[in-house]
Structure 1
Amino acid sequence: MKKILLIVSMILINMFSYAKLRVGVTLQPYYSFVSNIVGDKMEVVPAIRGDIYDVHNYKARPEDIKKMATLNILVVNGIGHDEFIYGIVRSARMGGKIKIINANKGVSLMPVSGMRTKTRVMNPHSFISITSSIQQIYTIARELGQIDPANKAYYNKNAQAYAQKLRNMKAAAITKVNHLKNLNMRVATSHAGYDYLLSEFGLRVRAVIEPAHGVEPSASDIKAIIDTIKRDKIDVVFVDAQAPNKYSTTIQKATGVRIRSLSHMSRGAYTKDGFERFMKYNLDSLTSAMLEVGKTRGR
């Protein structure tokens, strides 16, 4: 009997020794970041349901709380995009038990464009860009290496390889439009989610349609943006590819402005290559718009 118990104990010890740490993520891009970093060394899981479009006002469900209690590590945006997650951590009684990695620690943050008030709010959409995403990838890899030092070199190597792949995507996009010197394309957006991406191409957002993220613009908001587009000679309005924009047709008819789309990276399956696919869509849409504007100006 003692021999049997000893064998069972050894089996259980070996099972727990090889159990993978579970890393929860709050946003789809972070699933891609972490998956590319950890490979098969950790298990990466969405901390919430993946079929939610606007996570800003996400309401926790019992299954979210149960899942949180199974996690060892949690990767968060930490600057306003996933504030709901801290309530889930508390409800799961995981405060102090789960290691939280703030992906944006060290990222140079931008203020939200188009704010209707004088309050300065930092833009949480830092994942919709190549440069700031790479910064987050390195932060995540470094902190995972501190948690799991045995695989530190592996995580750093994967982070470097993944970052290079993303740099190559950005370089290919810039090559397409590099001849458009001093284009000064004038841009407006449906909401303030694309500042980081546009800034990488030397563009700034001159107007935002939504008074706040996810808030449907009123008739007066639409009139104001139409007046701004005419006054400032806006070339392109970028709307969210993953959400209905009922007002875009009205704006286009009233101004003749180009309406193009960008992905908010917040709908669809959580996959290892999801960020790359989202970003390719955005880079292709953005560079195509720049080439169109450049053509009209004889570039």
Structure 2
Amino acid sequence: MNGPAALRTWMRRALILAVLLPLLASAGTATEPAKRLKIGITLHPYYSFVANIVGDKADVIPLIPAAANPHNYQPQPDDIARAMTLDALVVNGIGHDEWAQEIVKAAGRRDTLPIIQANASVALIPIGGDQGAGKVVNPHTFVSTTAAIQQVFEIARRLGELDPANAKTYRQNALAYAGRIRALRARYMTRFAGLDLSNFRCATTHGGYDYLLQEFGLFVTAVIEPRHGVAPTARQLATTLDTIKKAQVQVLFAEKNFSLDLAKPIEAATGVKVFALSHINGTQFSADEFESAMRDNLETLAEAVEYTQR
């Protein structure tokens, strides 16, 4: 076929291809589902933070079982298997989940797994009332409202970098979640405004509450345990009891479910009143665990201060 007829045939085919190629390309794209991130977490509060940030846009995968004690955790084979499936891992990174690095290393993911340092933008403080000579950074930033909000925004920012398609949703969800935490704190700020905090003196079984206390202008006079989970020697305990008596400490904060056995003898020896605070750990992970536990903590803190006003 030559001449005008051949030219018309070629042009007809070219026109058909011009119409079909974009349709075929778009059809191929439509059949490819967007990747849904699997985001690992190490501690209970980080499950709540990430779950509220991502909503239904990603999966939140606890690295270790819910009932495990993070203070002395030993990595298990199942943890390594989970680490191999993750797209990112949110960690405390300042002394509360060192075992996470062991798991990541054992999984062969040290160079391929993005690690989100939740505390990257948090102003860290030392453990108040610590018996040691040096200053030790307090890793319990999640027992707080201010530091928790800072961590929520840091996590949302990093997740947005890893998942740009959902970055806007993550920011919006983080703002809404932070708003609820601020509203919770505001209710108790109003309640504390009517209390005299000038003579409030407290001790703690260990250094887990400094971030929470400083939000309300309160500070720790003495810490019972030399390190978390380590019972004081007879001499250390005697020194601490003497400090409590001399400083006229009225209140002792103990960790709910963990250190009440240590607190009760101190209560009997010094006359301090024991109150239990949560470190936000339990037997199940949930999106609302942080808000629920912090609501209880703030109520307990208010009750403790009110007790000293009687």
Output the TM-score relative to the length of structure 2. 0.88
Matched, 1:26 2:19: no
Partners in 1 of 2:221 and 2:110 — Cα distance?
A: 41
Q: Which runs of 5+ in 1 are unaligned?
A: 1-9
Q: What is the identity percentage for the equivalent residue pairs of Structure 1 and Structure 2?
A: 44
Q: Which of 121, 126, 148 matches 2:136? A: 121
AA of the residue aligned to 2:208: G
Runs of 4+ aligned structure 1 residues displaced above 4 Å come to none
Matched, 1:44 2:60: yes
1:187-227 residue CA offsets vs partner (Å, 9 max, x unmatched) = 10000000000001101111000011110223333322221
Q: Which of 167, 170, 192 matches 1:155? A: 170
Partner of 2:220 in structure 1? 205
Q: Give how far 1:244 is off.
A: 4.2
1:15-42 residue CA offsets vs partner (Å, 9 max, x unmatched) = x624411000000000000000000100
Q: Which of 167, 171, 195 matches 1:180? A: 195
Matched, 1:193 2:208: yes
Partners in 2 of 1:42 and 1:182 — Cα distance?
A: 44
Partners in 2 of 1:116 and 1:49 — Cα distance?
A: 32
Matched, 1:97 2:137: no
Partner of 2:3 in structure 1? none
Partners in 2 of 1:23 and 1:250 — Cα distance?
A: 43
Do the aligned partners of 1:195 and 1:204 also contact (CA within 8 Å) in 2? yes
Q: What's the C-alpha RMSD, in Å, of the aligned pairs?
A: 1.7
The 3 A distance-change label for structure 1 pair 235 and 27 is same
Counterpart secondary structure, 1:17 = coil
Partner of 2:95 in structure 1? 80
Partners in 2 of 1:61 and 1:35 — Cα distance?
A: 24
Partner of 1:70 in structure 2? 85
Partner of 1:110 in structure 2? 125
Q: Give how far 1:245 is off.
A: 2.5
Partners in 1 of 2:137 and 2:283 — Cα distance?
A: 26
Do the aligned partners of 1:103 and 1:139 also contact (CA within 8 Å) in 2? yes
Partner of 1:56 in structure 2? 71
Counterpart secondary structure, 2:104 = helix
Q: Give how far 1:277 is off.
A: 1.0
Do the aligned partners of 1:31 and 1:44 also contact (CA within 8 Å) in 2? yes
- Provide the aligned length of Structure 1 versus Structure 2: 284
Counterpart secondary structure, 1:207 = strand
Q: Give how far 1:99 is off.
A: 1.1
Q: Give how far 1:49 is off.
A: 1.4
Output the TM-score relative to the length of structure 1. 0.91
Do the aligned partners of 1:56 and 1:84 also contact (CA within 8 Å) in 2? no
Partner of 2:16 in structure 1? none
Matched, 1:269 2:284: yes
Counterpart secondary structure, 2:252 = strand
Partners in 2 of 1:179 and 1:231 — Cα distance?
A: 27
Do the aligned partners of 2:129 and 2:223 also contact (CA within 8 Å) in 1? yes
Q: Which runs of 5+ in 2 are unaligned?
A: 1-26
The 3 A distance-change label for structure 1 pair 162 and 77 is same
Do the aligned partners of 1:75 and 1:100 also contact (CA within 8 Å) in 2? yes
Do the aligned partners of 1:56 and 1:83 also contact (CA within 8 Å) in 2? no
Do the aligned partners of 1:184 and 1:203 also contact (CA within 8 Å) in 2? no
Q: Which has the larger radius of gyration?
A: 2
Q: Give how far 1:182 is off.
A: 4.2
